[in-house]
Amino acid sequence: MHQLIIFDIPALHCDGCIDSLKSVLENFPGISLVAGDLESLTLSVSYDESSITPEAIKLQLAAVGYVVAGTQFPNN
């Protein structure tokens, strides 16, 4: 089942940041959508919970230098 998670990422400064994260995350099985919002400094990720976990997504973000300051689960 697909879920939506929103990561608070204070280091999102430009569209290039968002594009970089999209290119990294969209290569992982189970991730179907990545969208950033520079105004709220958030990254929304739609994922298949049977293929990848929120913690695994957070680890991938950290691996490319983006610290997650918080998470929101709007579907819950």
Q: Please name each of the domains of the chain with its CATH number.
A: 2-72 (3.30.70.100)
55-69 confidence digits (pLDDT tens): 999 999 999 999 999
Task: Read off the pTM.
Answer: 0.92
Q: Quick one: pLDDT at residue 49?
A: 93
User: What CA–CA distances, in Å, run from 49 to 25, 27, 32, 37, 54?
Assistant: 14, 16, 11, 23, 8
Residue 75: the pLDDT is 73
* pLDDT digit string, tens, across residues 18-58: 999 999 999 999 999 999 999 999 999 999 999 999 999 99
Quote the pLDDT of residue 76: 64
Q: Are 10 and 69 in contact (CB under 8 A)?
A: yes
The predicted pLDDT at position 52 comes to 95
Residue 60's CB: how many other CB atoms inside 10 A? Answer: 18
C-alpha angle 8/9/12, rounded to 5°?
A: 135
